[in-house]
Structure 1
Amino acid sequence: MRLSLLALLFVVSGSVSSNIITTPGKPVVIGIDGSHAGKRVCYYQDQAYSLGAVLQVGDHYITCDRANDFETNGALKWIPLEQANQVKPSTQTPDPNVKTYSIK
């Protein structure tokens, strides 16, 4: 009984150890150009456009504008020019300590 149990354990352990997966000796390193990572630009056909750029795509005009209204240096995105020309209401109340001037 003991001999058959020992033989069974030997066979099972041999089949388990035969499924060893190895990795290649030399790691594969992929280089990524990070020079454009920090730039605030909109891309169209592999060309970078700055904030405020206007393009005609077919019959439509698009402009490069802020992705979020509450960010001053966040990501940019393409939006339709008609949507960009709409007046966005200000949600902030003016500070009474700040002097403002208007030209009429």
Structure 2
Amino acid sequence: MKRTKCCNNCERGTPMHLTRDILCKYHGVVTPDYCCFKYKGSADTAADRQNSYKCIHCEYFLVELDSPDQDFGKCKLFSAREYDGNKRNACSKFSRKMLIEVS
């Protein structure tokens, strides 16, 4: 199955989880089906990219503040037990954590 060229699967776009829009590096906020001349697709599929992510990269992973190790926490969706987020692969509900830099 061939994937269509759109901002939903572009490497330069970051999903905005509240509105399902895409934050484009060049054009700002766009709809997921928008496509521009700066589109950059990847050779591997979304499933292959997802396998390289760990639980600690997910927005649903909650880090325990009182833990001496910063990798320990629990999943907001599935788990009640604490575990090491760097050792567990991302699940099917994986959503990349948004990084916000404060200057």
Structure with higher Rg: it is 1
TM-score (norm 2): 0.20
Say which structure, 1 or 2, has more relative contact order (CA 8 Å, 6+ apart).
2
Q: Name the TM-score, length of structure 1 as normaliser.
A: 0.20
Larger relative helix fraction: 1
